[in-house]
Chain A
Amino acid sequence: MTEQTSQNLLEELPGDLMMWVLIISELLIFGAGLVVFLSLRISDPAGFAEAQSQLHRTGAALNTIILITSGYLAAIGLRLNLAAQRGAARLALIAAAALGVVFLIIKLAEYADKAAQGITYDTHPFFMFYYLLTGFHAAHVIAGVLVLLLVAWRDTPENIEMGAAFWHMVDLVWVLLFPVIYLLA
């Protein structure tokens, strides 16, 4: 590959290169977690299926809709900002962050329900990975909500593009995490 080709490839990439490095790193971490999770399932598929039946799929499915819609609002926020509609862009970003908070409330209710049933991380290896992967993802949601509010305040197009890209990464991870943890019986 020539230097010119490499340069063109980097120029083709939308947004900031470092944000893409972060996105790829996060995808690799969560991807490795999912591979280990399904590898462990091989030794005890019945136990994993039994443990999975304790989860609330409806709440998690609702959270998928919430994150997808939140990602849409964040992307709209960037478009509006680029069209010099700063007020509307800020509203879209704040709405995206608010949906992130709704996601967390549903997730907390799910954890509280598990705690009430006496289910902890050491109940079964399934739950260890369930808490590890969904908890790590929830931590990213908290960070994403803060980032969205920050870029709604400091609303340069570059800031919003980076903030929205982080949020889309959180969204992307969830659409891969959700079916593996909640649906693949």
Chain B
Amino acid sequence: MIKSDALTRAWVVLIALSGLSAVVSTMMDRGFDTRIMGSVVLALALMKARIILSRYLGLADAPSWRRGFNLTLTLFCLLLLGLYLFPQL
């Protein structure tokens, strides 16, 4: 049997996170605080990137590498968030 359950779950979660991103961006258009909504959009992007690394690229089986990639990606997204929020400070 093909071991694809974790992969299929990852795909479903990625689709759900993408839908959530669309909902959040609509809320931004309707006047919700762009600082909060922007932070949520970036957090959702980070979650999607982590899932792609773990399940699609197989880093779930390489925990040391997964930790390194996740840490770097998290720091990168924090940098993007800082640059995004800077004009609104």
A-side residues, CB < 8 A to B, are 9, 12-15, 23, 31, 34-35, 38-39, 41-42, 45, 57, 61, 64-65, 68-69, 71-72, 74-76, 79-80, 83, 85, 164-165, 168-169, 171-172, 175-176, 178-180, 182-185
Known: A171-B56, A172-B52, A184-B38. A179 touches B45 (CB 8 A): yes
B83 and A42 contacting across the interface, CB-CB below 8 Å: yes
B18 and A72 contacting across the interface, CB-CB below 8 Å: no
Q: Which residues of B from 1 to 42 have beta carbons under 8 Å from A? A: 2-4, 7-8, 10-11, 14-15, 18, 21-22, 24-25, 28-29, 34, 38, 41-42
Closest 7 CB pairs of A and B: A38-B83, A14-B58, A72-B11, A45-B87, A168-B56, A175-B48, A12-B62
Name, among A71, A80, A164, the residue most crowded by chain B CB atoms within 10 Å (CB to CB): A71
How many Å from the CB of A177 to the closest CB on chain B?
9
B62 and A179 contacting across the interface, CB-CB below 8 Å: no
Query: How far is it, in angstroms, between the C-alpha of A45 and the C-alpha of B85 when the chains are bound?
Result: 10
A38 and B15 contacting across the interface, CB-CB below 8 Å: no
A14 and B59 contacting across the interface, CB-CB below 8 Å: yes
B62 and A13 contacting across the interface, CB-CB below 8 Å: yes
Main secondary structure of the interface of A (DSSP, over half): helix
Interface string of B53-88 (1 = CB under 8 A from A): 101111101111100000000001001100110111
How many Å from the CB of A175 to the closest CB on chain B?
4
A38 and B80 contacting across the interface, CB-CB below 8 Å: yes
B15 and A68 contacting across the interface, CB-CB below 8 Å: yes
B49 and A176 contacting across the interface, CB-CB below 8 Å: yes
B56 and A72 contacting across the interface, CB-CB below 8 Å: yes
Known: A13-B65, A80-B2, A185-B38. A71 touches B18 (CB 8 A): no
Chain A contacts for B83, CB-based, 8 A: 35, 38-39, 41-42
Q: Which residue of A lies closest to B28 (CB)?
A: A185
Q: Which residue of A lies closest to B87 (CB)?
A: A45
Chain B contacts for A12, CB-based, 8 A: 61-65
Query: How far is it, in angstroms, between the C-alpha of A93 and the C-alpha of B34 when the chains are bound?
Result: 39
Q: Which residue of B lies closest to A83 (CB)?
A: B2
How many Å from the CB of A75 to the closest CB on chain B?
5
How many Å from the CB of B57 to the closest CB on chain A?
5
Chain A contacts for B45, CB-based, 8 A: 175-176, 178-180
Query: How far is it, in angstroms, between the C-alpha of A83 and the C-alpha of B4 when the chains are bound?
Result: 11
Chain B contacts for A179, CB-based, 8 A: 21, 41-42, 44-45
